[in-house]
Amino acid sequence: MLAQKRILLVIGGGIAAYKALELIRLLRGAGAAVTPVMTKAAGEFVTPLSVSALAGEKVYAHLFDLTDEAEMGHIQLSRVADLIVVAPATADLIARMAQGRADDLASTLLLATDTPVLVAPAMNVRMWTHPATQRNVAQIQADGARLIGPDDGDMACGEYGPGRLAEPPAILAAITAMLAKGPLTGKHIIVTSGPTHEPIDPVRYIANRSSGAQGTAIAAALRDLGARVSFVTGPATVPPPAGVTVIPVETAAQMADAVARALPADAAIMAAAVADWRVSNASDRKMKKDGTGTAPALQFAENPDILKTVSHGPNRPRLVVGFAAETDDVIAHAQAKLARKGCDWIVANDVSPATGIMGGAENAVTILSAKGAETWPRLPKDEVARRLAHRIADALK
Ligand code: CTP
């Protein structure tokens, strides 16, 4: 599966470093060669001896090791790999990547490389959710790194929440996906997915029933054909796919910003169920009953139309695909939407409750374009995604 591939594995210093041993075993089992690099702190958690025994190769740890520089300089070390994987990536290592530091071997390699980088964060939940870490994570993603995890769960420190290293088999799947060669290799595709949440006050919001299943399946199918996917997702109920750049957002305005920042791209697939309106008089305190029995009146403002903006923008991708979720006159509404939004295709579906499509596992779509309409049979959402991804690959040839 990974025969002839070389992975440079940077092991950071965290409790989860022991899982890097399992990852090395899986990588070698899949046929990959592994060049291990350990940070100084990683040596506090796993020994270089066990790492090199499993990798079957020397462990690199020091920047100024002259013998190593004679054998293989750090620049070359960073370039011989097909992929650099940072697992576990600590908060500190991510911060140093975000800043472009080069004060040890791991950070220098990461700065000197032009090889794709996959980062698997692992840290305490508070450290992960801290705005500083979230800023750094957004920065390294903007610089091109892809993320896997972290997972939710019990942590070694006794807390519960996001911060656990993704499981080694999931990291292996993300690595395999990133190294997959296909008709979309070298192409960057933005996918929006899920609902948006529009706050009413700090504890209440307006949302819709989108689960994010179709958008997630499309992102995974594009990834499987080799695309680099920026996955801009609202608060969906299905987890995002591995091996894509996940950009989580909450509101339509945040989604519009994230899409603008992710451009340029070869294609944009707008599968999100974006709220058309936001509450313009949202309160920054929880709204209370005033005892009179009168409900507060909400006022609404129109949200930016992301699809329309991208379709007419200066950075327009070659292919822009919109979705039309309708409950009646599906084709007529979708046809009108194709013209109104200025996109190349509309993927239309009937989401009236009787179809069970919204939140369900299947979808029945019609693809509308300048060439006409093509109706597909009712299929699992994964299969719709696979067919759509192949159609996108053909269009971007
Ligand atoms: N969309 C968007 N930004 C918005 C609203 C919608 O990018 N603010 C995108 C959706 O992701 C989808 C397409 O536009 O690809 C159609 O969304 P929909 O809400 O069905 O279209 P509307 O323009 O809101 O039309 P209508 O209200 O008539 O349904």
**200 and 218 fall within a common domain:** yes
pLDDT digits 0-9 by tens, 14-66: 999 999 999 999 999 999 999 999 999 999 999 999 999 999 999 998 877 64
**253 and 104 fall within a common domain:** no
**230 and 348 fall within a common domain:** yes
pLDDT digits 0-9 by tens, 319-373: 999 999 888 898 999 999 999 999 999 999 988 888 888 778 898 999 999 999 9
The verdict on the CB of residue 252 being under 6 Å from ligand 1 is yes
**135 and 201 fall within a common domain:** no
Q: Give the CA distances from residue 300 to residues 195, 249, 276, 280, in Å, rounded to whole numbers and listed in that order.
A: 18, 20, 10, 5
Q: Indicate whether 276 pLDDT > 70.
A: yes
Domain boundary among 129, 151, 179: 179
**122 and 193 fall within a common domain:** no
| Residue bearing the bigger pLDDT, 72 or 84 | 84
Q: Which atom of ligand 1 has the smallest separation from the CA of 304?
A: 8
Per-residue confidence band for 243, with pLDDT thresholds at 50, 70 and 90:
confident
**269 and 140 fall within a common domain:** no
The preferred substitution site among 197, 209, 274, 331 for testing ligand 1, maximizing ligand atoms within 8 Å of CB, is 274
User: Cα torsion at 81, 83, 88, 89 (round to 10°)?
Assistant: 100
**44 and 114 fall within a common domain:** yes
The verdict on the CB of residue 307 being under 6 Å from ligand 1 is yes
Q: Which atom of ligand 1 has the smallest separation from the CA of 322?
A: 15
- The domain that holds 389 is classified in CATH as 3.40.50.10300
118 contacts 145 by C-beta, under 8 angstroms: yes
- The domain that holds 38 is classified in CATH as 3.40.50.1950
Quickly list DSSP for 211-250.
-SHHHHHHHHHHHHTT-EEEEEE-S-SSPPPTTSEEEE--
**197 and 173 fall within a common domain:** no
Q: Which helix (H) or strand (E) holds 29?
A: helix 17-29
**113 and 196 fall within a common domain:** no
pLDDT digits 0-9 by tens, 221-240: 999 898 989 999 999 999 88
**270 and 361 fall within a common domain:** yes
318 contacts 312 by C-beta, under 8 angstroms: no
Domain boundary among 179, 210, 241: 179
Question: What would the two tokens of residue 187 be?
Answer: 């192409």
301 contacts 278 by C-beta, under 8 angstroms: yes
The verdict on the CB of residue 322 being under 6 Å from ligand 1 is yes
10 domain residue, yes or no: yes
343 alpha carbon to ligand 1 midpoint, in Å? 12
302 domain residue, yes or no: yes
**252 and 121 fall within a common domain:** no
1 domain residue, yes or no: no
Instruction: Over range 198-217, report the average pLDDT.
Output: 95
Q: What is the mean pLDDT of the chain?
A: 92
**218 and 342 fall within a common domain:** yes
- For 60, the domain range is 6-179
Q: Domain total for the chain? A: 2
Q: What's residue 293's pLDDT?
A: 87
Domain boundary among 179, 211, 244: 179
Question: What would the two tokens of residue 3 be?
Answer: 């025969």
47 domain residue, yes or no: yes
Atom 17 in ligand 1: residue holding the nearest Cα:
324
